[in-house]
């Protein structure tokens, strides 16, 4: 597992950022949990469903103004850079994977694969390509197993890289991985 956050204060900032992002994107996106125990979750958004500035404000983005100036500046720089790369990598209508998370105790048990299966099935049913970013090189093979390919790699900082990945429109419709089709 790759970890980039060291201090408790930095972890609090990251937690706030992801909390705001979840609130904002879940207003327009699709959120699924693997089970009532919530061992895993996935959130994606249709590229044509931009939540807009008011959703960011309602979601708590103004709380980030309390971050130290250097952290806020770095966050804004990263956000602009990732957004720019996103627009360069895929211009057509698509589904954008915002989050996928599986609790450490549930990793390696197929939870992430089932959640990704839901995402790719949704994209296939709408005949849409998919886009995602990951900052964890260990995730590349997992995403590649679902048909994603790296289309761009950027250096966010000397310690952090980001990979933009695209999955083209499937040539045939798929069943969600791990799901049985009723006959």
> Does residue 1 belong to any structural domain of this protein?
no
- Strand 160-167 relative to strand 40-46: parallel, antiparallel, unpaired? unpaired
Q: pLDDT per residue over 11-24, tens digit each?
A: 677 777 777 788 88
Q: Collapsing DSSP states into helix, strand and coil, what is residue 42? A: strand
pLDDT band, very low/low/confident/very high, at 58 (cuts 50, 70, 90) = confident
> Does residue 48 belong to any structural domain of this protein?
yes
> Does residue 26 belong to any structural domain of this protein?
yes
> Does residue 179 belong to any structural domain of this protein?
no
Q: Residue 123: which domain range?
A: 8-167
User: Which CATH number covers residue 159?
Assistant: 3.40.630.30
Pair of tokens at residue 152 = 């761009």
Q: How many domains does one find in the chain?
A: 1
What is the pTM assigned to this prediction? 0.81
> Does residue 158 belong to any structural domain of this protein?
yes
> Does residue 155 belong to any structural domain of this protein?
yes
Average pLDDT, the chain: 83
The neighbour count for residue 91, using CB atoms within 10 Å, is 9
Torsion angle in degrees (nearest 10) through CA of 94, 95, 98, 100 = -140
């Amino acid at each position: 597992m790759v970890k980039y956050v060291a201090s408790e204060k930095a972890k609090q900032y990251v937690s706030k950022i992801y909390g705001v992002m979840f609130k904002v994107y879940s207003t327009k996106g699709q959120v699924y949990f693997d089970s009532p125990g919530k061992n895993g979750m996935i959130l994606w958004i249709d590229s044509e469903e931009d939540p807009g500035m008011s959703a960011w404000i309602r979601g708590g983005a103004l709380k980030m103004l309390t971050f130290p100036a250097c952290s806020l500046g770095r966050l804004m720089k990263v956000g602009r850079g990732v957004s720019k790369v996103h627009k360069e990598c895929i211009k057509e209508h698509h589904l954008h994977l915002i989050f996928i998370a599986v609790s450490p105790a549930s990793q390696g048990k197929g939870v992430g694969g089932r959640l990704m299966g839901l995402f790719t099935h949704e994209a296939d049913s709408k005949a849409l390509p998919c886009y995602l970013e990951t900052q964890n090189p260990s995730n590349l093979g997992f995403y590649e197993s679902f048909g994603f390919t790296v289309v761009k790699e950027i250096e966010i900082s000397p310690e952090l890289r980001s990979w933009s990945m695209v999955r083209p429109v499937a040539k045939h419709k798929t069943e969600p991985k791990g799901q049985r089709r009723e006959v």
